[in-house]
Structure 1
Amino acid sequence: MVDHASTDVNAGNVGSDVKEADLDMAGAIVALKRHARLIASAAGLGGLIALGIVNLVSPRYAAEVRVVIENRETALTRAGKDRAGAQDDAVNLDPEAISSQVQIAYSRDLARAVIRDLDLANVSEFNPLASPTGLLSGALGFVGLGRDIARLSPEERALDAYFERLTVAPVDKSRVIEIRFWSTDAALAARIANTISERFIDLQTRDKLERDRKVRRYFEHKIDDLRTTVADAEGKVQQFRGEADLLTGVNNLTLASQSLTELTAQLTAAQGQQAEAEARARSIRDLLKSGRPIESAEVFASPLMQRLTERAAALRAEHALQATVLLPGHPRMRELQAQLADNQQQIRGQAERIIRGIENDARSAGDRMRAIQQALEEKKRSTNSNGDKEVALRALEREAKAQRDLLEDWLALYRDAAARDSLDARAANARVVSRAEPGNIPVFPKKLPIVLITILTVASVAVAAVVGMALTAGAGEENARVQPLERREPELSYPVFGAADPEPAVPTGERMIEPEAAMALPVDQEESAPEIARRDTPDEIAAWQEDLEREKDDHRDAPFAAAAALARPDEQEHRNFGMARLAAKLVVVTGVTNARGEALLTLELAAGLAARGRRVIVLDAHRGAETLAGEVGVTLAHSLSDIATGRIGLAAAIQPIPGMAAHLLGDGGADSDALDFSTPRLSMALEALGLSYDSVLVRVASLGQGRDLVRHAGGAATIAIEAPDADDPLAKAAERSLALAGVGDILILPRQERNRTSAARRAA
C-alpha cells in the first residue's frame, strides 16, 4: 500500500474547494464557448437585417398638446346663486371627471369635425386603400377573411386611421391631459394635434351654451304659468282677509293685532307711572320723618317751597349774626327763633301737600291701568274668536309667498341664461398650456434601440438553442452506446487511427508530471494480486507495432490522413468537444502487465501532485478487481458508466480519498472498456472537472482507450505507462505505437526504479 504520511490532509477541507457544478450546466457552458462564433454571426446578421428594415420603414413624427382641465367660470359668467364665491375645483374636477374629459377627446363627433376641418379624407395617409397593406386588407375582406375597407366611406376610413394615430391620456397627479398624434408628416401631425385641442375646447363651450339655451327655453314657458299661479294665490289672500275682517295695518299686522299691541303698550306705561309716583311719595315722606332736608325734584320744582327755603336760610343767617352780640334770652333772639320754627312748619305742610299730589297721581295711574287691562281682556276675547281665520290666512299667505319666491328664482335663472347666450360669454373648463410644434426627430422607428434589441433577441434565441441542444444531447446515449474502437473502424488493418484528428500531432511540450516526482513516491514491492486479462495483450501490442512499421512508408507524409478521411465529419467535430482547456491538466495512466502496479502508480502520482498543493481528482475507468476504490478502502456507489448514461450527476459520484488531499470518481464497472470519453456527457464531465481541479488523472481500462483519450484532448496530454523496468519490450512497443498514433508526451515509469527510490528514501 502507499505511504500517505506526507500527504495527511483532511479530505473535507479539499471538498470545500470543489465546485458543486451540475454536469448539464457545465455542458451548456462548453457548448456556448464552442458555438460562440455562430451565435455572434447570427446576432450580427439579425442586426444587419433590422438595420435594413428600419431604414426602409417610413418614419413617424409625433406632436403633443397638453390641456389643463380647470373651472374657468368667473363672477360674471357664473350663475347668480354662485356669484358669491367660486366653486371648489377639487369637487367638480375629481379624477373621474378628468377621465371623462379623456373620453370626450376620443369622441367620434370631435374626430369628424377635425377630419372635415383639415380634409383628412383626401390625404393619402388616411386612406388605407392607397397603401399595400390596405390593398391586402381589402383583398382579405373581399374573400371574407377580414373587414372589407373598400365598402367604407372615405370618412370612415379616415376615422379608422385617425384613431390608430391618436393617443389621449391624463398626466399622473395633475389635471392635465396629453393629446398625442403621430403622422409621417411632422407638420401635419402638429396641425392635427392643435386642431384637436381647439375642437375639444370649442366642443365644451358649445355644450355649455346649448345647456343654457335649453334652460332659457324651459323657463320661458314655466315663468308665464308661474306668474298666473302667483297672481291667483295673492288674490285669494286678499279676498279671505276682507271676508274674515282681518285687514292689515301698519307693519302688515291685522287691526285686532295692532289694537292688542297698542293696549299692551298703554298698560305697561300706566303700570310704570303708578310705580314711579308711589316711589316718589314714599321717598319724600321718609325724608320728612327723618328730619333731614327735603331734597327732591318735586320739592325743588314747587315755587312756594323755593321761597320757604330761601326764607329759612335768611332767618338762620340773621340768627347767627345776632347771636354774636345778644344773649339767647334777648327778645330779638326769641323772635328770630319763632320765625324759624314757623318757617319749618310751613315747609313741612307744603311737603305734605306735594306728597298727597304725588299719591293722587299714583292712584290715577292705577285707575288708568285697570281700565286698560279691562279693555285688553275684551280685545283678547274678540281676537281669539278670529284665530281659525288667521290660521287659514297665514296658510294662504305662505302658499302665495312660495309661488312668488319660485317665480323670482326662475326669473333670475332665465336672466342669467339669456345673458350667457353667446360663445364669447362662456368659458370652457379647459385651456391649452402647451401647443404642438412640428418635430424633426421621429418617434418610430428608433433605429439604435431596435437594432440592439434585435441583436440581443437573436443572440438570446441562439444561446437558448445551443443550451437546449447541450442539455438534451445525452438523452439518447443509453440507446446509442459507442461501440469499441476495433468494431467502429474495420477498414484499417490496425486500430491506432480509429478516431485520429486531421490536425498534426501537438509537439511534445513541457511535461506536466516529471518522472522524478513519480519515482519519489514509495511503492509496495509485493504484488499479491493476480494478473488481469486486458484488451491490450502483449500479442496485440506486438501486432500493432508490426502494422505501424508496415504502414509508416505508405503514410510517412501524412500519417493521419487516412484516418481523418475515414472519420465522419460530425463524429470528428464531436470528439473535439470542449477538450482544449484540459490539455495542461490531463494525465492518463495505463500499464502493460500488472494491474495492481498500475493502480499504485495512479495513487502515487495523485499523492505527489496533492503534496505540491494542487487540487487533484482521479478517474478510474479500469475493469476488474484491482480498482482504486479497493486500494484506498472506499466503496463507490456509482461508476463512470452511470455518468455516461445520464443516470446520475457528476457531483453525486465524487468521493474523497482517505488520507490524501484528492478525490476519486467511480470505478469502470462491467462495461468500462466500452466507455468513450468523446461522448457528450463524459466530455462535459472532463471539462467540468478541469474547471474545478488543477490535475485530472485518468486510469484507463486499456492502452487503446488511453490513446483515444489523449488524441481527443488534442494530443496535449501526458500518458504515464507503468512497466516492470525501463527496457520492458511491451512498454517500449506501447510507447512506439502511441508515438506513431500521434501521442507526443509519453512517460515510462519503471517499477524497479520507483521501488529503489522509495527504499532509499525510507532508509534515509
Structure 2
Amino acid sequence: MSGNLSSRGDVDIDLAGLAAALWARKFAIAASVLIVGALTYFTTSSMAPLYRSEARILIEERGSALSRTGEGGQTRDLVLDEQAIASQVEVIRSSDLLREVITELDLGSRAEFDPAGQPSMIGDLLVLLGIGSDPIDASAQQRVLEAVRENLQVYQVQNSRVIAIEFSSQDPELAAAVANGLAGAYLQVQSGAKLDSNADAAAWLEPEIAELRGRVRDAEAKVAAFRADNGLLLVTENNTLVTRQLSDLTTELSQVRAQRADAEARAANVRSALESGQSADAVSSVVDSPQLQRLRERQSEIEGQISDLSITLLDNHPRIRSLRSQLSGIGTQLNEEVRKALANLEANAAVARLREAELAEQLDVLKQSSAQAGTDEVELRALEREARAERDLLETYLARFRETVSRGDANALPADARIISRAGVASEPYFPKVIPAVIVAMLATALIHMIIILLIELFSGRALRERVVVDEMREETTPLEPSRIATTGTATASLAHQPLTASTQAVPVAAPAHPAEPLTQPAPTIAKAGALPVAEDEEDFSVDGVAAALISKRVQVVAGISPEGDAATLGAVLLARAVSDRGHRVLTIDMTGAGLPGATMAGAGLPGITDLLCGSVSIAESIHADYASSADIIPLGTADPETAMRGASRIAMIIEALSDAYDTIIVECGSTEITAVQKMLADRPITVVMSVVDPDAPIIAEEFEALVEAGYDDALIMLVDEDGPQSTRSNAA
C-alpha cells in the first residue's frame, strides 16, 4: 500500500460506535435470546429420550493348541490388519445378521422401528415435493431394517483389535439387548463358518483318500514286479543281490592277490638265500616252520653236549665222534626241510595265481550283469519315487482328515473373537441434552443477532469515520549561498565544502507536517569557502521534514549512510518512527557494523540480517517489532558478519520480496562508501539519506561530494540530535 493519501482521505472503523450500536439494541438481543432459549427448551423437552448401550468385541485367534497346530507342530497365528478388522465391522453391519437379531427380539412389532406408523409433517412434505421417499412403498421388513441400521453404530476402536457396537433406542433395556444380541449373533456366525469350512474339508478329503490308497497300492505293486522281473532283489535296504555279489567278489579277489604276492615273495627270499649259500636261519619263512624250529633246538642241544664233553674227552673219543655224526645228520635234515619249505611256498603261489585268474573271470561276468542292473535301477528308482510321492500325499491327507474329524464339535472351533464388554442398561438418555442445547442456542442467537447489527452499521456507514491525513507535499529545493547558515527546528548547523560546479543541484527536501519550535543556540560558522546547497526552508533538514519528503515522493527503498559513525546511525531509527507515525508500514534493515539501530528498536542478541544471509533463520524470524512505534526492524543479527557477507547478493532479492509488504524500506548502511551501497543493492533505484550530527565535520562535505559524483545529487540531508531517540512514542503515535 502506498503512503500517498489524497485530500479525499480514507476511513476507519469506529469501534466505539459499533459498541454503542450493540448497547442500544441490548434489549432486542436479550429478547431474541430468551425467545430462542424458551423454544429450544420446549422442543427438546418434548422429544422422546434416546438411550445408548455399547458392547465390545475383541478380534483374536481362539482355540486349543491341538486345534491350531500346523505343520511341524507350530502354532499358526491369525493375521489381523486394518483391512481385516474393517471387514469384520461390515460383517456385523450385514443385513443377514441384522435380520436375525430383528427376528429374535421381534423389533418389527415396535412402532419405534416402523417409520410408516409414525408419520411426520416434514417427511410428508418432502414426499410431496419429490425429495424424500414414501415409507409405505417399502416392505415392513425393509423399513425395520433401515430403522435399526440408522440407530446402529459399529466401528473399530482406534489402534486396537476391538470393535464397538453401539445401539440407540427409546427403551434402555432394548438398546442393551440389541447390542448384546448383535455381538452374540456375530460369534455364532463366526463359529458356524468355521464348522462349515471344517465339514467341507472332511467331505472333500474322504474320497481323495480312497482314491490315493488305490494309487499307492498300484505304484508299490509296480515296484515289486519290476524288481522280480529284473533280478533286482534287495539284500539290504539299499543293496541289490548283484551289487552285494560284486562287492564280495572284489574283496575276495583282493585277498587272493595279496596271498599270491606274499607266497611269491617268500619263495624268492628262500631261493635267494639257498643260491647265495646263506644259512637257513637267516630266512624268515624257514624260521617260522615248526619242524625247522625242532631241528634247530636239537642241533643246539648236541652242540652243547659236544662242548661239555670236550673238556674231559679228546676229539677222537667215540662219544664225541657219535655226537658229531648226529650233528651232521641234523644239518642235512635242516637243508632238506628248507627245500621242502621252498617247494611249499612255490606251490602256494601257483594256487593263488590260479584262484586269482578264476576270480577275475567271475568279476568280469558280474560287471556285465551290474551294468545291466544299473540301467534297470534307473527305471526302478523312478517307480519308487512315484510310489513314495503317492504314499506321502496319502499320509498327509490322512493326518488332515483325522484332524478335521476331531474338530467336528462346535466347542473345538470357537469363533476368532470374544465379547470383552457386554452392553449395560443406560440410566440416563444421551439425547436430547436439554440444558446444553438451550445454552448453545442462546449463545448462537446472541452472536448472530450481534453480527447482523454490526453488518447493518457498517454497510450504512454509521460505524465509519474519516481519517485525517496529510496532503501531498511539493518538493522545493534552493541552493544555499556561501554566507548563509541553515537553521532547522531540531538543530542548527552549517555544512562546509569546497565550491561545487554550476551543475550541482540542491538537496531536495519537503516541508514538515508539523513545524518544530526553533532552537536558540547560535549556528556554527562555515569552515571553508562554498557550501552545500540547502532548502530555503531551514526546517526541511529535520527528521520530520525528511519523512514528509519521502512520503510525498513515494520512495520505497531508502539507503541511509552515516559518515560520522554509530551516533549518526540513530537517525535511521528516528526516520523510521517518523514515517511510521504517519500511517505507513516501515521496515528498517540494520547493516551497520555495531548494530546500534537494531539494539535501540528491538534489543540486542536477536536474529537478524546476518542470520538470514547465512540461511539459519527465515525472513519472518528475522523481523522484529519496534517497542516504541509500529515500525519493524531487521537487526544486525548474531551470525558471523564475514560469513554472512558472502551472501550479500541476496540482499536485493530480500528487499524485493519485502517491498510488497512494506511501504518504505530503510537500509541503514552506516559509514559505508556509496559504491559499496550500490553494489549491495544491485543498482536498485534508491533515495539516499545522509544522517548528520556535526555539519562542520570535514567528512560530511567529502561524503556529499562522493554522492554527487556517483549521481546521487538529489540525496537528502537529515540532521540528527546527539541525544538520539527517546524511549517513548512521539505525540503523533
TM-score of the pair, normalised by structure 2: 0.50
Shift of 1:86: 0.7
Matched, 1:250 2:234: yes
Question: Of the candidates 53, 56, 65, which is equivalent to residue 55 of structure 2?
Answer: 65
| 1:215-263 Cα distance to aligned partner (Å, 9 max, x none) | 2222334344444444444555555555xx22442368899x4223322
Equivalent runs, 1:60-209 vs 2, <5 Å: 60-78=50-68, 81-82=70-71, 84-89=73-78, 92-133=79-120, 137=123, 140-141=126-127, 144-209=130-195
| Match of residue 406 from structure 2 | 419
Question: Of the candidates 438, 456, 467, which is equivalent to residue 425 of structure 2?
Answer: 438
SS in 2 for 1:64: strand
Amino acid at match of 2:368: R
- Deviates further, 226-235 or 198-207: 226-235
Closer, same or farther: CA 273–238 of 1 in aligned 2, 3 Å: closer
Q: Is the 8 A contact 1:28 1:471 kept in 2?
A: no
Q: Is the 8 A contact 1:299 1:354 kept in 2?
A: no
Amino acid at match of 1:87: R
Q: Alpha carbon RMSD of aligned pairs, Å?
A: 6.1
Amino acid at match of 1:427: P
- Number of aligned residue pairs: give it: 481
Amino acid at match of 1:55: S
| Match of residue 244 from structure 2 | 261
Closer, same or farther: CA 416–360 of 1 in aligned 2, 3 Å: farther
SS in 1 for 2:414: coil
Equivalent runs, 1:134-533 vs 2, <5 Å: 137=123, 140-141=126-127, 144-237=130-223, 245-250=229-234, 257-272=240-255, 274-275=257-258, 368=355, 370-385=357-372, 390-447=377-434, 449-474=436-461
SS in 1 for 2:91: helix
Q: Is the 8 A contact 2:127 2:134 kept in 1?
A: yes
Amino acid at match of 1:184: Q
| Match of residue 45 from structure 2 | 55
Equivalent runs, 1:718-733 vs 2, <5 Å: none
Amino acid at match of 1:57: M
Higher helix share: 1
| Match of residue 482 from structure 1 | none
Q: For 1:25 and 1:309, locate their aligned partners in 2 and report how far apart those are by CA, in whole Å.
A: 152
SS in 2 for 1:181: strand
Q: For 2:221 and 2:154, locate their aligned partners in 1 and report how far apart those are by CA, in whole Å.
A: 61
Q: For 2:328 and 2:431, locate their aligned partners in 1 and report how far apart those are by CA, in whole Å.
A: 132
| Match of residue 732 from structure 1 | none
Q: For 1:47 and 1:187, locate their aligned partners in 2 and report how far apart those are by CA, in whole Å.
A: 32
Q: Is the 8 A contact 1:271 1:366 kept in 2?
A: no
Closer, same or farther: CA 336–448 of 1 in aligned 2, 3 Å: farther
Q: For 1:343 and 1:43, locate their aligned partners in 2 and report how far apart those are by CA, in whole Å.
A: 157
SS in 1 for 2:49: coil
Q: For 2:286 and 2:161, locate their aligned partners in 1 and report how far apart those are by CA, in whole Å.
A: 84
SS in 1 for 2:173: helix
Closer, same or farther: CA 448–240 of 1 in aligned 2, 3 Å: same
Q: Is the 8 A contact 2:168 2:175 kept in 1?
A: yes
Closer, same or farther: CA 62–259 of 1 in aligned 2, 3 Å: same
SS in 1 for 2:73: coil
Q: For 2:385 and 2:373, locate their aligned partners in 1 and report how far apart those are by CA, in whole Å.
A: 19
SS in 1 for 2:14: helix
Shift of 1:168: 1.9
Q: For 2:241 and 2:186, locate their aligned partners in 1 and report how far apart those are by CA, in whole Å.
A: 65
Equivalent runs, 1:692-731 vs 2, <5 Å: none
Shift of 1:113: 1.4
- Using CA pairs below 8 Å that are at least 6 residues apart, which structure has the higher relative contact order? 1
Q: For 2:76 and 2:398, locate their aligned partners in 1 and report how far apart those are by CA, in whole Å.
A: 22
SS in 2 for 1:188: helix
SS in 2 for 1:76: coil
Q: For 2:186 and 2:98, locate their aligned partners in 1 and report how far apart those are by CA, in whole Å.
A: 10
Closer, same or farther: CA 129–662 of 1 in aligned 2, 3 Å: closer
Q: Is the 8 A contact 1:127 1:161 kept in 2?
A: yes
| 1:181-234 Cα distance to aligned partner (Å, 9 max, x none) | 222333222222222111111111111111122222223343444444444445
Q: For 2:463 and 2:427, locate their aligned partners in 1 and report how far apart those are by CA, in whole Å.
A: 59
- Deviates further, 159-168 or 394-403: 394-403
Shift of 1:69: 1.8
Q: Is the 8 A contact 1:277 1:359 kept in 2?
A: no
Q: Is the 8 A contact 2:263 2:348 kept in 1?
A: no
Shift of 1:378: 1.8
* Residue ranges of structure 1 left out of the alignment (5+ in a row): 1-14, 16-21, 479-601, 608-631, 639-655, 666-691, 694-764
Closer, same or farther: CA 420–357 of 1 in aligned 2, 3 Å: farther
Equivalent runs, 1:550-565 vs 2, <5 Å: none
Q: For 2:187 and 2:198, locate their aligned partners in 1 and report how far apart those are by CA, in whole Å.
A: 17
* Residue ranges of structure 2 left out of the alignment (5+ in a row): 4-8, 466-512, 518-543, 552-573, 584-628, 631-733
Closer, same or farther: CA 363–475 of 1 in aligned 2, 3 Å: farther
Q: Is the 8 A contact 1:205 1:428 kept in 2?
A: yes
Equivalent runs, 1:594-673 vs 2, <5 Å: none
Q: For 2:455 and 2:67, locate their aligned partners in 1 and report how far apart those are by CA, in whole Å.
A: 73
Q: For 2:129 and 2:36, locate their aligned partners in 1 and report how far apart those are by CA, in whole Å.
A: 35
| Match of residue 746 from structure 1 | none
Amino acid at match of 1:115: I
| Match of residue 482 from structure 2 | none
Q: Is the 8 A contact 1:114 1:199 kept in 2?
A: yes
Q: For 2:212 and 2:402, locate their aligned partners in 1 and report how far apart those are by CA, in whole Å.
A: 16
Q: For 2:345 and 2:301, locate their aligned partners in 1 and report how far apart those are by CA, in whole Å.
A: 29
- Percent of pairs identical after alignment? 30
Q: For 1:354 and 1:43, locate their aligned partners in 2 and report how far apart those are by CA, in whole Å.
A: 145
Q: For 1:126 and 1:389, locate their aligned partners in 2 and report how far apart those are by CA, in whole Å.
A: 82
Q: Is the 8 A contact 2:242 2:370 kept in 1?
A: no
Closer, same or farther: CA 50–349 of 1 in aligned 2, 3 Å: farther
Amino acid at match of 2:194: K
Q: Is the 8 A contact 1:274 1:361 kept in 2?
A: no
Shift of 1:365: 6.2
Q: For 2:334 and 2:129, locate their aligned partners in 1 and report how far apart those are by CA, in whole Å.
A: 139
Shift of 1:477: 9.8
Q: Is the 8 A contact 2:256 2:355 kept in 1?
A: no
